[in-house]
Amino acid sequence: MVQIALLGHGTVGSGVVEVLRKNHESITKKAHDDINIKYILDLREFPELPYADKFVKDFSIIENDPEVDVVVECMGGLHPAYDFVKASMLKGKHVVTSNKELVATKGAELLKIAREKNLSFLFEASVGGGIPIIRPLYQCLAANEVYEIAGILNGTTNFILTKMIREQMSFQDALDMAQKLGYAERDPSADVQGDDACRKICILASLVFGKHVYPEQVHTEGITNITLEDVEYADSLDGVIKLLGRVKKLDDGHLSVMVCPAIVGRDGQLASVEDVFNGILVRGDAVGDVVFYGRGAGKLPTASAVVGDVIDCVKRLEYKKYLCWDEGEEGYVKDYRDTSSRFYVRLKASEPQKIMESAKKAFGELRMAHRNNAPEDEIAFATVSEVREGDLEKMVSQWKQEGTQVLGRIRLFDY
């Protein structure tokens, strides 16, 4: 019998209880041991639940109970989750977490403690909800030099963009609908401004390239400025707009890490990831492109990943996981202005011809984009070659000074 303690009985935590109870028999078989939830930490009361007797409000009960082998953290947020997780490990308890903020911010430190104390610290649920991605990356694809990862990592924004693309719904209307359906929070900023995707790409980048990438090192743009006009222009370029988290290893050993809306090819594997689904593309030297697809959030999909980790942890209580990465450092992530991309640009200009000339001079060949009923003073194009981000910014601010309005600017990625 393995005793576990659950921290947090919100959406994910209650899902963990549900999955452990519903599939108890097969889980016991797979874990080769009986898994029992001894405590559930939550400040709220749940007297109506059949397992109401397991609730405690004081973490020290869990911390000081030597019977508890595994602590499952589903509270979210940095504090007190970080403090509880750290304290648990210092008491020799294995930890499973679904908390992306915790791993993206403190992963290197917590993995180091896990290694020193010979414990598992597992977080499959922190990226891609129920989609297996952490374990495939560090086990199945271990033979590869991974070049890059690009993922649709946030279901809320993917739902909004899908509505904009498929039904010509405005950003605001699509957001309203996402909120009504419970896909978006009342304060949707962490989703629509890209912060959620940022934490997830930090975790993937840290895991694959071995050094911690912190959220504040990542240039992050959300989707709040994407308009239906951009959607239509993207279509004329044979693409669709997706919010991507992307990390790429550069030739000089640094990383380019970014969260931004991007135009991806309509026939590519990421374009077909729609609604609240997530999709993560991994490009390796031996395997080529592999894509992982599924529900990136929600009660049961996330609980599926958490409980999968618990089973793995229980199977190997005496056996340490070799998962780890080092602390990060300043300058490890390249300033995005020194990286290059292809770009789509939309402008409102009194002298479009003059703008086109300066654009061609600066960026080389251009591909024109089109939409129905565009005003005469609007032009949109995509660069055929990659442009240094800093050079584009300089050009854009020059155009602005000259009175041209830059209405849209979106990267084109080759997925």
Taking CB atoms within 8 Å and a gap of at least 24, the contacts of 170-178 are: 170/227, 170/228, 171/223, 171/224, 171/226, 171/227
Alpha helices in 184-323 (DSSP H): 189-192, 195-209, 228-236, 299-315
Residue 148 interacts with its own copies (CB under 8 A): yes or no = no
Residue 329 interacts with its own copies (CB under 8 A): yes or no = no
Residue 141 interacts with its own copies (CB under 8 A): yes or no = yes
Smallest distance, its own copies to C-beta of residue 277, A? 9
Instruction: Say if CB 89 and CB 114 are below 8 A apart.
Output: yes
Mask of contacts with its own copies, 244-273, x by CB under 8 A?
Answer: -----------------------x-x--x-
Residue 145 interacts with its own copies (CB under 8 A): yes or no = yes
Looking at the DSSP assignment, which residues form a beta bridge with residue 115? none
Indicate if 112 belongs to the active site: no
Looking at the DSSP assignment, which residues form a beta bridge with residue 284? 146, 288
CA distance 71 to 260: 35
Does a cis peptide bond (omega within 30 degrees of 0) precede residue 80?
yes
Mask of contacts with its own copies, 300-319, x by CB under 8 A?
Answer: xx-xxxxxx-xxx--xx--x
Residue 28 interacts with its own copies (CB under 8 A): yes or no = no
Residue 322 interacts with its own copies (CB under 8 A): yes or no = yes
Q: Contacting its own copies (CB under 8 A), which of 52, 90, 140, 384?
A: 140
Provide the 8-state DSSP code for 335: P
β-pairing, 340-348 vs 2-7, is: unpaired
- What is the total count of residues that contact its own copies (CB under 8 A)? 54
Indicate the residue among 116 and 285 with the shorter CB distance to its own copies.
285
Residue 15 interacts with its own copies (CB under 8 A): yes or no = yes
Indicate the residue among 109 and 285 with the shorter CB distance to its own copies.
285
Residue 11 interacts with its own copies (CB under 8 A): yes or no = no
Smallest distance, its own copies to C-beta of residue 131, A? 6
Q: Which helix (H) or strand (E) holds 391?
A: helix 389-401
Indicate the residue among 137 and 192 with the shorter CB distance to its own copies.
137
Torsion of CA 313, 314, 315, 316, to 10 degrees: 60
Residue 294 interacts with its own copies (CB under 8 A): yes or no = yes
Buried b vs exposed e over 178-196: b needs ≥16 C-beta within 10 Å?
beeeebbeeebebbbbbbb
Indicate the residue among 300 and 407 with the shorter CB distance to its own copies.
300
Comparing C-alpha atoms, which of 362, 349, 414, 357 is closest to residue 388?
A: 362
Residue 143 interacts with its own copies (CB under 8 A): yes or no = yes
Instruction: Say if CB 322 and CB 120 are below 8 A apart.
Output: no
Q: Contacting its own copies (CB under 8 A), which of 43, 44, 47, 286?
A: 286
329, two tokens: 């450092």
Looking at the DSSP assignment, which residues form a beta bridge with residue 406? 347
Residue 242 interacts with its own copies (CB under 8 A): yes or no = no
Residue 382 interacts with its own copies (CB under 8 A): yes or no = no
Span from 30-38, 72-80, 342-350, 361-369 in contact with its own copies (CB under 8 A) = 30-38
SS3 content of the chain, % helix, strand, coil (to 5): 40, 25, 35
Span from 5-13, 85-93, 128-136, 380-388 in contact with its own copies (CB under 8 A) = 128-136
Indicate the residue among 272 and 405 with the shorter CB distance to its own copies.
272
Q: Contacting its own copies (CB under 8 A), which of 56, 173, 293, 388?
A: 293
Residue 284 interacts with its own copies (CB under 8 A): yes or no = yes
Residue type, 368: M
Instruction: Give the CA count within 13 Å in the CB-facing half-sphere of 29.
Output: 4
Kindly name the residue from 106, 200, 242, 248 that is annotated as catalytic: 200
Q: Contacting its own copies (CB under 8 A), which of 67, 216, 285, 357?
A: 285
What are the residues binding its own copies (CB under 8 A)?
Answer: 15, 19-20, 22-23, 26-27, 30-32, 124, 130-132, 135-136, 138-145, 267, 269, 272, 284-295, 300-301, 303-308, 310-312, 315-316, 319, 322
Residues with catalytic roles: 200
